Structures are given as C-alpha cells and as structure tokens.
Structure 1
Amino acid sequence: MAEPVRVRCPACLREHVYTPAVLPCACGAPVAPPLLRGVEAEPVSDRTWAEDWVTLRCPMCGRRDRWPRPELGCDCGTLLRVPVQSDQAPAPSHIPLPRTAPAPRPAFQPVAIRTARDAVTAAALYLRWLGYRDVRRADQRPVSGIGLAAQGVVAQIEPSVRPATVRDVECLWLQSMTESAASVFFSLAGYADAARTRADELGVPLFVLDLAGVPQPVNSPADELIASGA
C-alpha cells in the first residue's frame, strides 16, 4: 500500500491526508506514484494531456508507462494536482532492428486482404505467429475498428480507409492497462503522425496491414515485439 501524505489546499488552506491509488503494471506488480513531500499541490485550471499523465517505472520489471497523475478534490471546490516524482525517459526514434539473424519462428503465412474480415483474420494469424494463443474477439468493443484478445494481449484492428488517430492509440493503451495486458495495433490505412508519436511514448506496437496480409512494423515497439514474440 502506498504511503499517505498531507496535502494543503492553497486556496482555503485546508489540509488533507491523501493516499495515491496503486495500479497494476503489465507484469502484475503494483505501482504507486512516488509523491513529493513538502511540495505544495497545484490547483487544476486548464487540462492538457501532458499534465494529466506522469511517467513511472515499475519497481519489479523496470517497464516505463504513463499513469494518471494523482488529483485530490478539496471541500472548497478546488481540484488539486498532487506533486509526483516522474521517471521521464526520451522517446526513441524508430530504428528497425537487424533482420539478418535467423528467424526464431517459421515464416509467417499471410492471407490476402480484400475485406474488413480479411484484415481481422490476418491480424489474428499474426498474433498466433507471435506466440499468442486462443486469439478471439475482445469482450470490450473498441471505440472504432475491431478488437481481438488473447492471454496477455489486447489488439485493435482498424480496417477502414482512415488513418488511426491519437485517441485510438490511447484508448487501446488504457484498455491494456485495465486488463494488465500488452497491446498491439493493426491499421490498414496507417497512422496519423501524432498517433505514431503517442504510441512511441506509450510503448504500443504499431503495424500496417498491406493488401497481401503481411503486417509491417512502423515503430520500435513493433520491432521489439517481432524480435521477442509473446
């Protein structure tokens, strides 16, 4: 359990005892944001994505992920942002891993994509090729596209002609955090630039499905997933 801290509201000077929420990492270990003692809380006026999230490192597996920044509502109506020690790390650019090493698994056998159903089939086959078993339709339907799930992973397939957006990537990542699973995104029309940047920050593997049915990695997390498998 995380240790509580005293938080004073700068608007009315009331003091509160605040205990941060503990959330599970993808590896299953509990992660709590390290609160900064002796630093005054800040009132929340305007919201931005960057300020609503904080980067934390899992103490067990070392994985960095984005977590909701702790907030506290004061009785006077002021919403307070509780100071946290963030573990920031620069997002790496996409540097493909060498492809000259022997393949650790048999060659992927694709299916040609002519319909949205074909795109889902290709993604499911690829997940099985990566080592995920019992691939099925996800219980939780994504905001757009089609969801797949297997033990330890949730995936989203966007079979339309529109590039996947930042919101698509963030919603998939949030679902994976809720289910303590990895996430993988497949898109037929690619990704908006902002979506690719956000996926790099969150560690979400992105693949583009070509019409031959072969998922092509478009960021470093995707390269790493191919190299390591499930």
Structure 2
Amino acid sequence: MAESMRVRCPSCLRDHRFAAPVYPCPCGASLSPPLLQEASPQHFVRRTWAEDWVEVRCRECGRQDHWPQPELGCPCGALLRIPVRPAASGTLSADPAPSSAPPPSHIPLPRTANSPRPAFRPIAIRSARDAVTMAELYLKWLGFREVVQQDIQLPEARPEPPVDAPLAPTIDLRGPGLTAQVNPSTRPAAPRDVECLWLTGLTASAEKTVYFSLAGYAGDARSRADDLGVALFTMDLSGDPQPVNTSAAELVSTGV
C-alpha cells in the first residue's frame, strides 16, 4: 500500500488526507516516493525543472529514477508540494508486483499549471510516412523551426537487417540546432542506433538530438542515450509521442 499522511494547507488551514502516488519500476515492482511525515507542505506558484522531480530508489532492484514531485491541489486554490525523504537516506518505498507487469513506456510528466504551448494535436499513424510527418509536426510543436526531411529511405521497401546489426538510416529530420531521426520499422532501436544519431548530430554541430521509434528501444539504448544526452520518444498508432528518458521529458517540459 502507498504511504499516506495528513496535510494541512498553509493558506486556508484545511486538512487533507494525501496518499503518495504509485509508479511502475521497470523491474516490475510498484514504488512510491517516501513521504517526509514530519515536514510541512510547501505552497508554490511557479514551477522549476529541479523542483518538479524527485529521486526514488526501488526496494526490489535498487534502481534509482526521477519521478514527479508529489503535489496536492487544495480547493482554496493553493498548490502544495509534498516533502519527500531523499533517496540517499536509504528509506525506500516499493511493493512487489507481478513479474508480468509491463515496464513503463515513458516517464510521466508533472502537471503544468500554465503551459506555454497549446496541446499537441496528434495524427493517426498508418504508414511510415505518417510517422515522419507526425515527428516533424511534434518537433515544430516543441519549438524547432524550419524542420525538413532528409535521407528518406523508408524501411518498408528494405530487407530486414541482421539482428545484431544497427538499423540502416531511416528518415532524418534537420533544423537549426537539431538533428532527429525517425525509425518507423517494427524493430526496436539499439544502442548503436542511438550512438550513430549522436555522432551525426555532433558532426552537424547540433545542440539537440532526438530519436523517434515506433517499436521502442532494445537493450541498453535508453541508458546509452542518457549518457549522450539524446532525447528518446516512442510513437504509437494514435500519433501521440511519449518521452522515455530524462532528456526527452525535459524537452517536453521546457520546449526549445
């Protein structure tokens, strides 16, 4: 069960019963941020990236990831940030879950009170070209300008490469300070695919490198992307991209 505590709003002195949110760890366990029962909630009006995320360590596998800072909205209009015990203190919160539970497909984002952008309007993906069009629109929604397609080699017309080989170049998207790639095939992107994109961006002196994959990411592709600062997104047939690492989540939260 998730930890709960009594929270008193510092603005109207109304009492609330707050239960910590529960998140799925990639190992299959359910975890929740350990609440700092002895601390008072903090009233805030402006969000910052550093304060919107907390580190939580899974009790089952020891993995430490960033998850949204627990928040409570009071009926009086106040937004309260619920204090969390630092992960370094060794106090963990995780409940066993069935091993068949799927790993999370993306990092959940904190709610934004005043988003500087309108909501992204996805398009349904029925073909590889639809995936490329969706990625192009999404990059423009993030704030990139003059995004153009390059090196179009749609995988439907190509033979499937060996399992241990990196994906052949698919569809590159370029813009000022941007190098992106779209993988609309049914094969998850591998760490070498991420490395190749990063090298391409390095050669082009791109400030941001972004990868879109319809089939997700295999092996250690996500950790390699974290090391290199490559933003990873997954796509589904609804056409709504989801961030799967911190670089992508920060890009969605702050824009360009």
User: What TM-score, normalized to structure 1?
Assistant: 0.57
Judge conservation of contact 2:152–2:170 (CA < 8 Å) in 1.
no
Matches within 5 A, 1:30-69: none
Does residue 218 in structure 1 map to residue 244 in structure 2? yes
Secondary structure in structure 2 of the residue aligned to 1:106: coil
What is the deviation of 1:113? 0.1
Judge conservation of contact 1:94–1:219 (CA < 8 Å) in 2.
no
CA offset digits 1:104-156 (Å, max 9, x no partner):
10111111000000000000000000011111013698933211111110100
What is the deviation of 1:162? 0.4
User: Aligned partner of 1:169: which letter?
Assistant: V
Question: What is the CA–CA distance in structure 2 between the aligned matches of 1:140 and 1:209, rounded to whole Å?
Answer: 18
Distance 1:154 1:143, change over 3 A: same
Counterpart pick for 1:165 among 190, 194, 205: 190
User: What TM-score, normalized to structure 2?
Assistant: 0.51
Counterpart pick for 1:122 among 111, 118, 134: 134
Which residue of structure 1 lines up, in the alignment, with residue 104 of structure 2?
none
Identical counterparts, % of pairs: 60
CA RMSD of aligned residues (A): 2.1
CA offset digits 1:42-93 (Å, max 9, x no partner):
xxxxxxxxxxxxxxxxxxxxxxxxxxxxxxxxxxxxxxxxxxxxxxxxxx73
Matches within 5 A, 1:8-157: 93-95=65-67, 96-138=108-150, 143-157=168-182
The worse-fitting range, judged by mean Cα deviation, of 193-202 and 100-109 is: 100-109
Which residue of structure 2 lines up, in the alignment, with residue 190 of structure 1?
216
Q: Which runs of 4+ in 1 moved over 2 A?
A: 92-97, 99-102, 138-144
Secondary structure in structure 1 of the residue aligned to 2:212: strand
What is the deviation of 1:229? 1.1
Question: What is the CA–CA distance in structure 1 between the aligned matches of 2:255 and 2:211, rounded to whole Å?
Answer: 15
Question: What is the CA–CA distance in structure 1 between the aligned matches of 2:152 and 2:182, rounded to whole Å?
Answer: 13
What is the deviation of 1:179? 1.1
Secondary structure in structure 1 of the residue aligned to 2:117: coil
What is the deviation of 1:97? 4.1
Give the unaligned 5+ runs of structure 2: 1-63, 68-107, 154-166
